[in-house]
Structure 1
């Protein structure tokens, strides 16, 4: 029995998010089907978290327990031949049986991409929100500073949230601009990338922060309004939920010691469970 940790990239355009839903096409469904085709095992994988419909991921971790002895170096290629072209497994490793992709996660980073150029990018349009009019990038960065720290993020959570606590910690929030796509002599602003790193996120949290941030960029709100919105703990005070396709789960980080427990410890745990 082995606990395998894998990473998967996916374009979420045609999926109802990562996690299996009562109706709809999900990334988890395709991964489990591919594993079953490969090993004959009907199992459930554990993802590092959910993503909304239409949201993308770069290296999203998931793990599962398997009795298969397929060598690690063969898993990615074998699964990818059984997956749609917009879902690609990029890494596989064996981890302790106690490892859990979601509960063991320490930090998660999301990236939101805004195309601030006059025209959309025909090749990146599924991964970027196009905003052809100028945005106040400096004001947006100032507003972002207010979400860093430990706060009650009720104002930036879905009204349907069932979490007992909306308190989360944001470790870092920054805005970077890539101007390499700007046309000479034009009013193109480039691609504005917002990175938000925290210990966890509520449903729609990053997208509502971004919807509010875009209003700051448009001059509809002042940067300091972000603090008042946080303190209000009222979803009505925040801006709209930004479109899903601009959002990508960018990275998930773990304590290295959680990934390197010895094989001997795994064997001992198997024996204990057997007894």
Structure 2
């Protein structure tokens, strides 16, 4: 059992080093809808990879990266809010992806539940390299661009005065989110990945008084959620990926209740 679970658990630990800092910016900038849009749109990328009979990881990565570029451009030129754009694209891509997959599945047997909800047991040792490399790339990019992204998040006007290009900072966040979602889909699934990006950093807010501390605590909470979710799934014989999200939600709820009573006292 340990040999079966360990690669999936370790891949989740690797992902935590990407989702922790990236998720903090997503929470600060209220970009959870953007994460949902990319994760839902990944199903359309999956459908394209099935039709083209190519490796799904690379097609999904290229597809949602191009989508991130388009969203950054649309946010800049369209008069309507980004939230409206995200909602339209998210539901349209998800629907089109499911329609295409259902049409293709008439001629061949396709199980896309793994991409919707994740499949921890499908993670192999060979997958760990891609997940580790992708997580390291995201972490390095965020560390290098940390000051500019943080300034844009806190005060966009001041960042612009300092000569920081707001468009490229937003694009950096969008592309790193696209990469993280691409490497995480096999682990937690398209419908659950945004939870892993949002819930641990949101929980970390209750225990931190600086951005850097929030990122570190967010990574630790993410690792704790993954470990607790894996153990719970083994003990109660329930799906692993939803168990991870529920465990993370339980940590958030406990932290929120604790914070509420501490403020009352």
TM-score normalised by structure 2 residue count: 0.29
The structure that is helix-richer by fraction is 2
TM-score normalised by structure 1 residue count: 0.28
The structure that is strand-richer by fraction is 1
Which one has the largest radius of gyration? 1
